[in-house]
Amino acid sequence: MTRQFSAVFRRDFAAFFKTYAAYVMLAVYLVLSMVATFYFGGYFQLNNAGLISFFRFQPEILALLVPALTMRSWADERRSGTIEFLLTQPVGYLLVVLAKFAAAWIFVLLMLILTTPLWLSTAVLAAVDNLNILSGYLGCLLAGGAFCALGCMVSSFNKNPVITYIMSVFVCWGLSSLDLSSVFGGAAAFSDELLIKITQALNFSKHLQDFFSGHPGTDSLIYFAVVIVLSLWLNLAAVEHKKG
Amino acid sequence: MITAKNLSKSFGNIRAVDNVNFFINKGEVVALLGPNGAGKSTLMRLLTGFLTPDCGETVICGHNVAEERVEAARKIGYVPENAPLYQEMTVFDFLSFTATLRGLSRTDFRNNLAEVVSRLELDRVLGQRTETLSKGFRRRTAVAAAMLHKPKVLILDEPTEGLDPNQKEEMRAFIKEYGARNLVLVSTHIMEEVDAVASRVILLNRGKLVRDTSPEELEKISPRGGIAEAFRQLTGGI
C-alpha cells in the first residue's frame, strides 16, 4: 500500500516538473511574495523584526496560485481518459485521493521553503522571534493544505482545467476572505451569542491570524484539519460517483 | 470466471446496458459485438468496476466487483477504448508505474517486462515518451501494461482500432494465444475480428443482449450466410 501511495504521489509530483508548470509556478510565487512583502507590505517601513509583511499577503497569493497546481489533478485524468486506467487498478480510491493531495501539498511546502532566505536575512539584520515566524509558516502550510484539498475537490467535479482553476480560485479566495463574524456581527442585536461564536469559529482569516501572531490554538489546528478532511471526503465521493 | 447477472446501467433517459446476463469460462475468447452505441464500452466498464451498475452484479474469479473491487481488479487486465497513457511518461516509466500499482515485486516486474516487451515488440520504444508514440505503439503499450501481472481475465475495448493491417494481424494472433490459457473479452464492431479470434460471440444491440452463441452458429442465422449478414439482421441494419 505504501508503494502504491508513493507511486501515485511521485507521478503527480513529477508531472508538475515535466510540464514545466512547476518552474513557472515557483517563479511567479516568489516574485509575487517578494513584491507583496517589500512593496505593498512595507517590509522596511514597518520597522518590525518579523515577517508580518510577508505573511499578510500569503492567503491571497496562495489562493491564486494553489488552484493552478491542483486544477489538473483530477480534471486532466478525466479529460485524457487515464482516470479509467487509474481507477481500474487494484488500488483503493482513498489512497489515490490522498496521494494526489499530498503531491500538491508537498509542492506548497517547497514553495514556502524557497522563501526561507527572507527569514534568514531578516534574522541577520535584527533579532527575530523565530518561534513566531515558524508559527506563521505553519499557518501558511495549513492554509496551503486547505487550498490544495479544496482545489483537488473542485478538480474532481470537472473535466476542464480552466473552469476548475476559476472555480477553485473562487472557492479558496471566498473562504479566505469571507468574514462571517462581520456579516453576522452587523445583526448582532438580533443574533444570539452562540451564532456569533459559531461564525467566529468558521472564520478562516481569524484562525490564520492566530498562527501569524504566534499564538495558534488547538481550535485553529482543528479548523484547518476539518477543512482538509471535509474537502478530501467530498473529493472521494466525487471520484466514486462521477467516474466517467 | 466472469459472471454478469442482470446488469443494467442508464445515463439519464438512455438505457446503455439493459438486464444483461452471461457467464464466460477460462479458455474462451469472447467477442462482444455490436453497432456503435450498443453499450459495449459501458458493459466493459461495469465488468471492471469502473462504473457501478444501477442493478445487477458482476463476479470476476469469485470476487463480487461491487464488494471486492480491489480483489477483482487484481485478476483483470483492462485496456480502455482509447488506450489512455500518461503523456509525460516514457513507456518504461508507465509500465513500471503500472507494476507498482499492481503490487508486483521488482523481480516479477523485470521478468514479466522482458516477456511482454518481446511479445509486443516494444523494445525500441521503451525509452520514448508516450505522447510521441504512434497509435499502434500506444495501444501495444496499454496492452503490455494490462498484461504485466499476467491476468486471468483480459478485457480489451476495440484493441485493433486504428492499427495498420500488420499490427492488426499481430494483435489478433496475440489475443488468440493468450485466450487459449486464460479468458479474453474483446469488444469490436469489426466482423473479420470475430472470425479471426473469437470462440464465442455476445451480440449487443441498444444495451440488450440479443445473441450469445458461437461464430459458426451466428453465421447460420442469415439465409445468405456470414457473420456480417447475421449482424445486420439482428441489429436492424439495412
Residue A2 has what pLDDT? Answer: 86
Which chain B residues are closer than 8 Å to A14 by Cβ? 88
B98–A4 C-beta distance less than 8 A: no
Instruction: Give the per-residue pLDDT at B220.
Output: 79
User: Could you say which of A3, A82, A244 has the minimum Cβ distance to residue B86?
Assistant: A82
CB contact under 8 A, B84 and A8: no
Q: Which CATH number fits the domain that encloses residue B183?
A: 3.40.50.300
Query: What span, in angstroms and rounded, lies between the C-alpha atoms of B101 and B6?
Result: 31
Which of B48, B81, B97 comes nearest A88 by C-beta?
B48
How many C-beta atoms lie closer than 10 Å to residue B186's C-beta? 27
Expressed as residue numbers, the domain containing B195 is 2-84+151-235
Rounded Cα distance between A153 and A228, Å, is 10
Reported confidence tier of residue A124, pLDDT bands at 50, 70, 90: confident
Residue holding cell 509556478? A25
What integer is the mean pLDDT of B146-161?
90
| Mean of all residue pLDDT scores within chain B | 89
Residue B92 lies in a domain: no
Q: Which of A14-23, B141-150, B215-224 has the lowest mean pLDDT?
A: B215-224
A48 φ/ψ angles, rounded to the nearest 5 degrees: -130, 125
Roughly what angle, to the nearest 10 degrees, separates helices A2-18 and B91-101?
150
Q: Which of B9, B47, B50 to mutate to test the interface with A (most CBs of A within 10 A)?
A: B50
Per-residue confidence band for B194, with pLDDT thresholds at 50, 70 and 90: confident
Q: Among all residues of chain A, which has the CA nearest to that of B97?
A: A7
Residue B73 has pLDDT above 90, yes or no: yes
B100 in a domain, yes or no?
no
- Which of A16-20, A32-36, A187-191, B145-149 bottoms out in mean pLDDT, i.e. has the lowest? A187-191
Contact residues on chain A for B142, CB-CB shorter than 8 A: 85
Whether B137 is in a domain gets the answer: no
Q: Is the pLDDT of residue A137 over 90?
A: yes
Q: Tell me how long chain A is.
A: 244
To the nearest whole Å, the CA of A31 is away from the closest chain B CA by: 28
CA distance linking residue B65 with residue B2, whole number of Å: 10
Q: ipTM score of the complex?
A: 0.90
Asked whether the beta carbons of residue B101 and residue A18 sit closer than 8 angstroms, the reply is no
Residue whose grid cell is 461564536? A197
Test B51 with A243 for CB contact under 8 angstroms. Answer: yes
Residue (of A85, A6, A91, A5) closest to B102 by Cα position = A91
Percent of chain B at pLDDT exceeding 90: 58
Q: What average pLDDT does the segment A47-56 reach?
A: 80
Q: What is the CA radius of gyration of chain B?
A: 18
Residue B97 resides in a domain = no
Structure confidence by residue, pLDDT tens digits, B22-61: 999 998 999 999 888 889 999 999 999 999 999 999 999 9
| Residue A191 banded pLDDT, cuts 50, 70, 90 | low
Q: Which residues, 6 or more positions from B132, have their beta carbon under 8 angstroms from its beta carbon?
A: none
Q: What are the tens digits of pLDDT across the range A67-92?
A: 999 998 899 899 889 999 999 999 99
**Residue A81 near residue B82 (C-beta atoms within 8 A):** yes
How many A/B residue pairs have CB atoms within 8 Å?
67
Which residues of chain A lie closer than 8 angstroms to B103, CB-CB?
3-4, 90
pLDDT at residue A142, rounded to an integer: 95
- Grid cell digits, residue B194: 470475430
Q: Is residue B166 part of a domain?
A: yes
Domains held by chain B: number = 1
Question: Is pLDDT above 70 for A48?
Answer: no
Identity of the amino acid at A194: L
Band (pLDDT 50/70/90 cuts) for residue B99 is very high
Reported pTM: 0.89
B88 close to A (CB below 8 A): yes
Paired residues of B4 in beta bridges? B22, B58
Q: Which long-range contacts (CB under 8 A, 24 or more apart) does A191-199 make?
A: none
With an 8 Å Cβ cutoff, are B85 and A85 in contact? yes
Inform me whether the C-beta atom of residue B126 falls under 8 Å from chain A C-beta atoms: no
SS3 A183: helix
Distance from CA of B73 to the nearest CA of A (A): 5
| Helices A21-35 + A93-113 axis angle, to 10 | 50
What are φ and ψ of residue A41, in 5° steps? -85, -15
Q: Which of A89, A241, A244 sits opposite B102 (nearest CB)?
A: A89
Could you give the count of Cα atoms lying within 13 Å of A198 in the half-sphere of its Cβ?
7
Contacts of B153 in chain A (CB under 8 A): none
